[in-house]
Structure 1
Amino acid sequence: MFETIDALKAQLDALRPLPKNSVQSLHEAMMLEWTYHSNAIEGNTLTLKETKVVLEGITVGGKSIREHFEAINHREAIEWVESVIARDEPFSERLIKSIHQLLLKNIDNTNAGCYRQENVMIAGAQHIPPEHLHLQSLMTELVDGYENHYENQDYHPVERAARLHVDFVGIHPFVDGNGRTARLLMNFDLMSSGYPVIIRAENRLAYYEALDKAHTSLCYQDFIAMVVEAEEDAFKRYLSIVS
């Protein structure tokens, strides 16, 4: 499953150091598209072009203040995750809560960065998240198990990150913003290994179905395959630009 993306990554790595302007344009494009697609999956109605102008500081008429903040906050969260990777900080509950706090800043300051204090359901899904009373122990287990389970299982970096995403969303620790937080956490792991990826909004249904299947049957294969396909598309695009 991973042979193609590993070969594409090797092609890209062989071209390093990449031209400075190419790196900058790729980074700007990734940040814009990642912000647009991650928010669109959750129902944000800003188009790609509208997201671009919002990130440039321009207000879009007919769009809610919340949608503007979702775009601005998501870019800030990406930048913070990149700074964490640059400092080589480990996966932690602080990382998780900080990402969530940035995402919900000026949107829901009461719940930003705080685990939920109520039980929730995921609309349209068979999986029912655990009761809120168990959240702290489950999140501690997720973080403690990251090194002991995910890394020691000799998973490919893409499979490891995909499984982390699935398991985090299964716990659903926040009232809102779990999906965006999960995708940022997945890319925290992926970017640390040189495998950034964007789940595109047009794949929203398949994305939700693969997650629900993993939660209800413990079959991660469909979700991992989706991430691998998205990774392949990303590498091909990067190579088409820099080569």
Structure 2
Amino acid sequence: MKSLLKNAREQKGLKTREVAQILSIDQALISKFESGTRRPTKDQISRLSQLLEIDFETIMIAWLKEKIMYEIGEEEFALKALLLVEQEIQNNKKIINSAVLSSLQVILDEIETLKKQIISFQHFDLHRISKILELEFISESNRLNGNSLTFQETKSVINEGLTISGKSMHEHLEAVNLQEAIGYIKDLNQKKVPVTEKEFLLIHTLILRGIKPENSGKYKNDPLIIREMNLFFNWYEANKNNLHPILLASEAHLKIMTISPFENGNVQIANLLMNWILLQNSYVFATIQGNESDINEYLEVLEECQNKNDKSFFINYILRIEKENLIRAIELVSK
């Protein structure tokens, strides 16, 4: 933990006295935290995590490890006790996850009913609504990232290969690249290729092709980021068959946004990963709208999750969007 704190502070270009001043923690304590001679409180570690932009889960694991080692590390029966603790934590976790799922079950049931209705549609209708929802996703996702192309302009660029007067080449490339990335994801899903780090990085390369090629498909040059992404894919493998697909997709999006592993394209790749998981499980795109009020809501939900360390805000937000988009898909068939 001491290395995490010191490395993060130095990467931010802050001196110990500056950290102490900002957080109202004695400078001597900051130095002791970094030397390992004192352990911060949970509140202090939370504030340090936010200021130094250290992943909260990573720093909490390190903090708890040191706390456990201090309390029982020298005890003769420490390992046997830890095995019992692990079993009890796992049992409690199952109870908590079951309670969380129960609180969400009403909207999950509604979503499953809508999903079954869509799956029952004729192939022609399914293809038509899929193309419309895909175009809407491309348009709105790019607007979320600051692209000024309208839906009709995006449609013209993708379907007709037109160049829109007054719009930058960068904006045109974002639309084309996102379409190619979605096509690649759909192909992976058809071949039943699982979500892997290799494919994740390749999709990032696709969305930045011709825009920021020097940063595409590569994490930031930061050992902490690489470690956090290793932890992310370990988390994904451990939970892909246990969590409900919408909960899994929502958490994956939230984790990528928290880690922010790339120099460019973090919003796009988080959005694509979430929808990759949804499409893999026969749901429709969870399209976050790109108008000002919806962007503000999206950012506020992310901030609330961070400040309160509670992922349920974002999960409920995505559940609402998925339900709205399923209803939208059904409405398209009736037109």
Tell me whether 1:208 sits opposite 2:312 in the alignment: no
1:144 pairs with one of 234, 237, 240: 234
Q: Provide the aligned C-alpha RMSD in A.
A: 1.7
Amino acid at match of 1:10: T
Residues in 1 aligned to 2:180 and 2:167: alpha-carbon distance in whole angstroms: 20
Cα distance, 1:177 vs structure 2: 0.5
Unaligned runs of 5+ in 2: 1-103
Is the Cα–Cα contact under 8 Å of residues 12 and 239 in structure 1 kept in the other structure?
no
Separation (CA, whole Å) in 1 of partners of 2:236 and 2:211: 30
Amino acid at match of 2:175: A
Greater shift, 15-24 or 40-49, is seen at 15-24
C-alpha distance in structure 1 between counterparts of 2:118 and 2:214, whole Å: 47
Match of 2:197 among 75, 79, 93: 93
| Kept after mapping to 2: 8 A contact 1:19/1:242 | no
- Structure 2 length normalisation: TM-score? 0.64
Q: Distance in 2 between matches of 1:222 and 1:93?
A: 27
User: Over residues 134-182 of structure 1, what are the superposed CA-to-partner deviations in whole Å (9 max), with x where a residue is unaligned?
Assistant: 111111111111121x336x43221111011000111111111010100
State whether structure 2 residue 103 is matched by structure 1 residue 13: no
What is the CA-CA distance between 1:29 and the residue it aligns to? 0.6
Change (3 A) 1:108 1:11: closer
Q: Which residue of 1 aligns with 2:130?
A: 27
Among 103, 122, 125, the alignment partner of 2:207 is 103
Secondary structure at the counterpart of residue 110 of structure 1: helix
Pair 1:198 & 2:277 matched: no
Q: Residues 37-76 of structure 1 correspond to what in structure 2 (within 5 A)?
A: 37-55=140-158, 56-76=160-180
Aligned mates of 1:16, 1:108 — CA distance in 2: 38
Does residue 78 of structure 1 match 2:182? Answer: yes
Matched residue type, 1:43: G
SS in 1 for 2:194: coil
1:240 aligned partner, one-letter code: E
Q: Is the 8 A contact 2:253 2:274 kept in 1?
A: yes
1:114 correspondence with 2:218? yes
How far does the alpha carbon of each residue in 1:65-103 deviate from its partner, in whole angstroms, 9 at most, with x for none?
000000000000001111111111122111211111000
User: Which structure has the highest helix share of the two?
Assistant: 2
Letter aligned with residue 74 of structure 1: L
> Structure 1 stretches of 5 or more lacking a match?
118-131
Instruction: Report the CA distance shift for 1:26/1:2 in structure 2 as closer, same or farther (over 3 A).
Output: farther
Offset of residue 17 of structure 1: 4.4
The answer to which structure, 1 or 2, has the higher relative contact order (CA under 8 A, 6+ apart) is 1
1:199-221: per-residue Cα shift (whole Å, max 9, x none)?
A: 11131111111112223332112
Aligned-partner SS, 1:201 = coil
Quick one: which of 244, 253, 256 aligns to 1:165?
253
Check 1:146–1:241 CA distance in 2 against 1; reply closer, same or farther (3 A cut): same
Question: What fraction of aligned residue pairs are identical, expressed as a percent?
Answer: 30
